[in-house]
Amino acid sequence: MKRKTCLNAILASTILAGLGAAALAETAWDGPTTGPKAAEGKSIVVVAGDLKNGGILGVTTGVEEAAETIGWDVRVLDGAGSIQGRTAAIGQALALKPDGMIINGFDAVEQQAALEGVVGASIPMVAWHSGPKIGCDAPGGIFANVSTDAMTVSEVAAEWAMGDGGDNVGAVIFTDSTYQIAIDKADRIKETIEAAGGTVLEYVDTPIADTSSRMGPLTTSLLQKHGDSWTHALAINDLYFDFMGPALAAAGIPGDGSPKAGSAGDGSEAAFQRIRGGQYQTITVAEPLNLQGWQLVDELNRAIQGEACSGYVTSPALVTQEGLAKLGDSNQFDPDSPYREAYSDIWGK
């Protein structure tokens, strides 16, 4: 099977505690090595919160790749970034009567009523970023919630800002209160910065789904309000920075100027391109999205067969321009560990 380019030693000298192994070349597989063989002939549905979100899209791609190996049919439904859209997508998924369902990138609490219908239909569910509880037996009838440790991700982003700006850090934090995990991540960023002596100028709650229309005017307003005291922009997702650059450019701020942007997840392709080119984003804390897609398929295979959840938690990596320069033209954090081979062996494929 063709291997993707590894993420080779991303700023290895400054990798923070808890990141090391996943960010370095040729790492050993630290995930499960035993589990049930593939359940044959299954069909599954991925309910994606918003396929415009690079993290969600990356995970979906990993699910599709893994499903091809395990021999399952996959249908992907896009919630298109709205609560109503996600509710409708769950209803459509139920009507398809799949053997399993993957909840990809939205809060289970938001869709509690709809997901009760999935539980009532005895359809096994696994999820990516469905809430603050990571791993097995997540709330809402979810067998496993796949994620890195979100609090570690937040701490890494905040510590990068403090290391970059020292005592002069003036941060604006962007979050979305639609999601409990987004609130928790933003709170941890704020706590970490303030504990280290930095200043949080503002804590901005604006929906991820509306970033295309809101971030331009919001950025302009924040520049007028805080001026040069705004040194760092920190967000719970890369998508916020997809739409910040034009407003900064209009204000005469160069791509590598202040405020410097850093994201506490998820390592989208667009974010990698901005970081690589020095264009209005300096770092992201990336998750191994493709690997997590494979993990979701493995967890769902366990759920379908009544086996125990693996409990595996992947590690994130701090992605910088220096690290990306070692990658060639790759724009994805795909750890150089044999996870594809490991899962294929478990499934007997």
Which pLDDT tens digit goes with each residue over 215-262?
999 999 999 999 999 999 999 999 999 999 999 999 999 999 999 999
> CA 302, 308, 103: angle at the middle one, nearest 5?
55
Query: How many Å apart are CA 114 and CA 130, to the nearest integer?
Result: 14
pLDDT value for 7:
33
Band (pLDDT 50/70/90 cuts) for residue 131 is confident
In sequence order, what are the residues at sequence separation of 6 or more whose Cβ sits closer than 8 angstroms to the Cβ of residue 29? 337, 338, 339, 342
Query: Can you tell me whether residue 295 is helix, strand or coil?
Result: helix
Assess whether pLDDT exceeds 80 at residue 149.
yes
28 CB neighbour count, 10 Å cutoff: 7
pLDDT value for 26:
53
Q: What is the mean pLDDT of the chain?
A: 89
Task: Find the mean pLDDT for residues 114-119.
Answer: 95
Say if residues 270 and 163 touch (Cβ distance below 8 Å): no
Between 335 and 187, residue with greater pLDDT: 187
Q: Say what the pTM is.
A: 0.82
Query: How many Å apart are CA 165 and CA 260, to the nearest integer?
Result: 10
Assess whether pLDDT exceeds 70 at residue 209.
yes
pLDDT value for 54:
85
241 CB neighbour count, 10 Å cutoff: 28
By the 10 Å C-beta count (0-12 exposed, 13-18 middle, 19+ buried), 224 is classed as exposed
Assess whether pLDDT exceeds 50 at residue 168.
yes
Query: How many Å apart are CA 158 and CA 63, to the nearest integer?
Result: 30
* pLDDT tens sequence across 258-279: 999 999 988 888 999 999 999 9
pLDDT value for 265:
83
Assess whether pLDDT exceeds 80 at residue 137.
yes
Task: Find the mean pLDDT for residues 200-216.
Answer: 94
Strand-pairing partners, residue 205, are 175
Task: Find the mean pLDDT for residues 94-113.
Answer: 95
Residue 82 DSSP label? S
Assess whether pLDDT exceeds 50 at residue 16.
no
Assess whether pLDDT exceeds 70 at residue 17.
no
Tell me the two tokens of residue 65.
């790749």
Lowest mean pLDDT among 3-7, 87-91, 156-160, 239-243: 3-7
Distances (CA, A) of 178 to 47, 51, 166, 205: 17, 17, 32, 9
pLDDT value for 4:
30
Say if residues 187 and 236 touch (Cβ distance below 8 Å): no
pLDDT value for 19:
31
Query: How many Å apart are CA 207 and CA 225, to the nearest integer?
Result: 21
Assess whether pLDDT exceeds 80 at residue 319.
yes
